[in-house]
């Protein structure tokens, strides 16, 4: 009987497909091992996920857990404890972004036996064979482990071009269940790894050392079409750090989409300085290849802040991108970050002004505003530590960072409240509304135009209906 490799994705209120496990599974010898993926995000409750985990343990060779910074850490720790309680002989391996940055903390405080840092495929494979044959651990690059209570971290593994890895086997996950939860037949796809840029708030330059590798255009086309055909998908969401990092590859994909008459739409990540310089011919081509939406890390409307965070873009590039995308009928989500220590509220206001200008160019464009969170492994994390700001110290404290509620303690209450109100009114005034909501929408537009957000009664009322009465998730 084949042994089982269990891959566990901790509970969190989202349901993108667990691509990290499809990546790991792609290199595992399936003649030899059964791969079982448990995604606690799509289970009825973490308890149901734990029950499934418990049932699989007797035949398990190891349990791999994927951990990103924030709330998922809590369930990663619970699942690890469960394994230790019911099958202490089964090693628990943590991989992903948090263990890549804090392997020692994840083992000492989280109970993991091994941590894999950086790209996971080959390190996991080597570790599996070391577990099976009790062979040496100190020769496996990319691995951290404990030896007689001592922390050991091996050398970094050489970054491998992802064209060397086989394609993903989506049959390992319940694709229809993800479609249902997403509310659309959307496949998540990962076509490149890493990123060549150096943004100071992002852990990518630390985890991948600014290396990047992308599937060649022809391979990407083949794998995407295969997944779309197999599952009858109508949309593809590229979850790459930076899909547009190589323009030539994007053009190859677009040519192929047109040639093969791909009828599905797609959305992908980008930067303002990648979209702004595109000329009309290129934009016509990507629009003709069914590009539905670009997710742009715009980050700030203030040049001073863009320079501070080493974004290496110009503030006006967001507006130029908006104008060009709108003209070619391509949708966009612009992401912004405010609330850096010492940002100064006038810089935040500059960002809000930019958002209004983007909305003026095309009211259908969406936006997100996040408060700066000092993610570990980033340049700005070190900067604020050196400046004497408090940051989480333990695994438990890292697990408390919540992605919508968190803002640095240095952000003044009234400034945070102003941004939250702006977010509500600017979104509400441009989203489709019906019936009784229409007069409120008119009021919201007036408020946004005049920057008047005092006494936000409509916000309270709408949120009461949305989250208390209709029980919608508050994003
Ligand atoms: C999809 C996605 C999401 C989804 C779901 C997250 C998930 N993974 O389930 C959503 C949209 C909900 C989301 C939300 C957020 N995300 Co997010 N997200 C991503 C994104 C774009 C893709 C993840 C993915 O599927 N990658 C593809 C796989 C193949 O790559 P991978 O995950 O890196 O896996 C490889 C290795 O890490 C390793 N590995 C990973 N897991 C494991 C497990 C084992 C056992 C082993 C051996 C190896 C291993 O091997 C894999 C193959 O090489 C990444 C960026 C990226 N492109 O990776 C950001 C990213 C993971 N998100 C990030 C952040 C910051 C967030 C938010 C906080 C954003 C925000 N400000 O609101 C929130 C909240 C997250 C939370 N705490 O709950 C950061 C994480 C930084 C960190 N220190 O943890 C990333 C890296 C973006 C970035 N560059 O900053 N996110
Ligand atoms: S924020 Fe985006 S562009 Fe900047 S380093 Fe991270 S992944 Fe790359």
**Ligand 1 site, residue 214, Cβ cutoff 6 A:** no
Q: Report the distance separating Cα 124 and Cα 240, nearest Å.
A: 21
Distance 460 CA to ligand 1 centre (A): 33
Q: Report the distance separating Cα 124 and Cα 140, nearest Å.
A: 9
* Residue 403: predicted pLDDT: 54
**Ligand 1 site, residue 203, Cβ cutoff 6 A:** yes
pLDDT category of residue 3 using cuts at 50, 70 and 90: very high
148-157 long-range contacts, CB within 8 A, separation 24+:
151/103, 151/104, 151/107, 151/108, 153/103, 153/104, 153/117, 156/117, 156/118, 157/118, 157/119, 157/122, 157/123
Tokens of 163: 């064209």
**Ligand 1 site, residue 69, Cβ cutoff 6 A:** yes
N-term to C-term CA, the chain: 45
* Residue 57: predicted pLDDT: 98
pLDDT digits 0-9 by tens, 343-369: 999 999 999 999 999 999 999 999 999
Phi and psi torsions of 6, nearest 5°: -100, 130
* pTM for the model: 0.95
* Residue 468: predicted pLDDT: 67
* Residue 474: predicted pLDDT: 40
**Ligand 1 site, residue 241, Cβ cutoff 6 A:** yes
pLDDT category of residue 473 using cuts at 50, 70 and 90: very low
Strand 150-153 relative to strand 366-371: parallel, antiparallel, unpaired? unpaired
Q: Report the distance separating Cα 295 and Cα 331, nearest Å.
A: 9
Tokens of 275: 């979209």
pLDDT category of residue 472 using cuts at 50, 70 and 90: low
Three-class secondary structure of residue 158 per DSSP? coil
Three-class secondary structure of residue 153 per DSSP? strand
Q: Is the pLDDT of residue 31 over 90?
A: yes
Mean pLDDT of 402-424: 86
Ligand at shortest distance from the CA of 212 = 2
The rounded Cα 156 to chain-centroid distance in angstroms is 23
Concatenate the DSSP letters of all residues of 399-413 into one string: HT--TTT---TTS-H
Q: Is the pLDDT of residue 446 over 80?
A: yes
**Ligand 1 site, residue 236, Cβ cutoff 6 A:** no
pLDDT digits 0-9 by tens, 32-53: 999 999 999 999 988 999 999 9
pLDDT digits 0-9 by tens, 459-468: 888 888 877 6
Ligand at shortest distance from the CA of 193 = 1
Q: Report the distance separating Cα 148 and Cα 208, nearest Å.
A: 30
Q: Report the distance separating Cα 365 and Cα 332, nearest Å.
A: 5
**Ligand 1 site, residue 126, Cβ cutoff 6 A:** no
pLDDT category of residue 469 using cuts at 50, 70 and 90: low
Of all residues in the chain, the percent with pLDDT exceeding 70 is: 97
* Residue 470: predicted pLDDT: 59
**Ligand 2 site, residue 377, Cβ cutoff 6 A:** no
Distance 431 CA to ligand 1 centre (A): 28
Q: What's the DSSP call for residue 468?
A: I
**Ligand 1 site, residue 403, Cβ cutoff 6 A:** yes
Q: Report the distance separating Cα 46 and Cα 26, nearest Å.
A: 26
List the strands of the sheet with 3-9, edge to edge: 33-39, 3-9, 60-66, 92-95, 114-116, 143-147, 150-153
Characterise 123 by phi-psi region: left (phi > 0), alpha (psi -120 to 50), beta (else). Answer: alpha
The rounded Cα 239 to chain-centroid distance in angstroms is 7
How does the average pLDDT of the chain come out, rounded? Answer: 94
Residue 283's nearest CA partner among 318, 244, 324 is: 324
* Residue 383: predicted pLDDT: 94
| Cβ atoms of residues 271 and 223 within 8 Å | no
Q: Spell out the alpha helix ranges (H) of 328-367.
A: 345-361
| Cβ atoms of residues 79 and 50 within 8 Å | yes
Non-local (6+) Cβ contacts of 462 within 8 A are 424, 428, 437, 440
pLDDT category of residue 13 using cuts at 50, 70 and 90: confident
* Residue 203: predicted pLDDT: 95
* Residue 233: predicted pLDDT: 98
Residue 380's nearest CA partner among 209, 198, 200 is: 200
* Residue 280: predicted pLDDT: 96
Q: Is the pLDDT of residue 285 over 70?
A: yes
Distance 380 CA to ligand 2 centre (A): 13
Of all residues in the chain, the percent with pLDDT exceeding 90 is: 88
pLDDT digits 0-9 by tens, 231-273: 999 999 999 999 999 999 999 999 999 999 999 999 999 999 9
**Ligand 1 site, residue 160, Cβ cutoff 6 A:** no
User: Ligand 2: which of 192, 195, 370 to mutate, most ligand atoms within 8 Å of CB?
Assistant: 195
Q: Which of 14-18, 93-97, 171-175, 471-475 has the lowest mean pLDDT?
A: 471-475
């Amino acid at each position: 009987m084949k042994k089982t490799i269990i891959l566990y994705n901790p509970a969190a209120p989202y349901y993108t497909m667990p691509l990290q496990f499809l990546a790991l599974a792609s290199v595992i010898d399936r003649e030899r091992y059964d791969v079982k993926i448990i995604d606690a995000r799509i289970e009825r409750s973490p308890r149901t996920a734990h029950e499934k985990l418990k049932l699989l343990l007797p035949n398990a060779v190891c349990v791999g857990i994927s951990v990103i910074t924030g709330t998922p850490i809590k369930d990663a720790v619970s699942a690890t404890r469960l394994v230790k309680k019911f099958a202490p002989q089964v090693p628990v391996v943590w991989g992903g972004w948090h263990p890549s940055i804090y392997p020692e903390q994840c083992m000492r405080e989280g109970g993991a036996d091994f941590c894999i840092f950086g790209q996971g495929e080959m390190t996991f494979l080597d570790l599996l064979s070391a577990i099976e044959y009790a062979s040496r651990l100190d020769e496996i690059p990319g691995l951290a482990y404990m030896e007689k209570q001592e922390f050991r971290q091996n050398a970094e593994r050489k970054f491998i071009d992802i064209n060397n890895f086989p394609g993903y086997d989506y049959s390992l996950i319940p694709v229809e269940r993800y479609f249902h939860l997403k509310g659309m037949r959307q496949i998540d796809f990962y076509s490149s790894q890493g990123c060549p840029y150096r943004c100071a708030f992002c852990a990518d330059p630390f985890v991948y050392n600014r290396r990047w590798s992308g599937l060649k255009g022809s391979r990407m086309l083949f794998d995407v079409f295969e997944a779309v055909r197999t599952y009858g998908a109508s949309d593809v969401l590229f979850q790459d750090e930076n899909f547009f990092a190589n323009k030539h590859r994007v053009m190859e994909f677009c040519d192929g989409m047109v040639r093969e008459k791909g009828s599905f739409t797609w959305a992908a990540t980008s930067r303002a300085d990648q979209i702004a310089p595109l000329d009309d011919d290129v934009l016509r081509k990507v629009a003709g290849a069914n590009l539905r939406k670009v997710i742009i890390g715009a980050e700030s409307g203030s040049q001073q802040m863009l320079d501070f965070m080493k974004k290496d873009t110009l503030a006006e590039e967001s507006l130029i991108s908006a104008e060009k995308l709108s003209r070619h009928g391509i949708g966009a989500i612009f992401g912004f970050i405010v609330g850096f220590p010492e940002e100064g509220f006038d810089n935040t206001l500059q960002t809000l002004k930019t958002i209004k200008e983007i909305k003026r160019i095309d009211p259908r464009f969406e936006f997100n505003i996040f408060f700066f969170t000092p993610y570990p492994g980033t340049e700005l994390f070190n900067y604020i530590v050196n400046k004497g700001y408090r940051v989480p110290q333990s695994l438990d404290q890292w697990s408390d960072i919540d992605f919508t509620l968190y803002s640095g303690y240095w952000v003044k209450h009234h400034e945070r409240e102003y941004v939250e109100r702006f977010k509500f009114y600017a979104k509400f005034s441009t989203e489709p509304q019906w019936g009784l909501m229409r007069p409120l929408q008119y009021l919201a537009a007036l408020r946004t135009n005049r920057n008047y957000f005092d006494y936000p009664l409509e916000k309270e009322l709408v949120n009461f209906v949305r989250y208390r009465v209709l029980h919608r998730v508050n994003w």
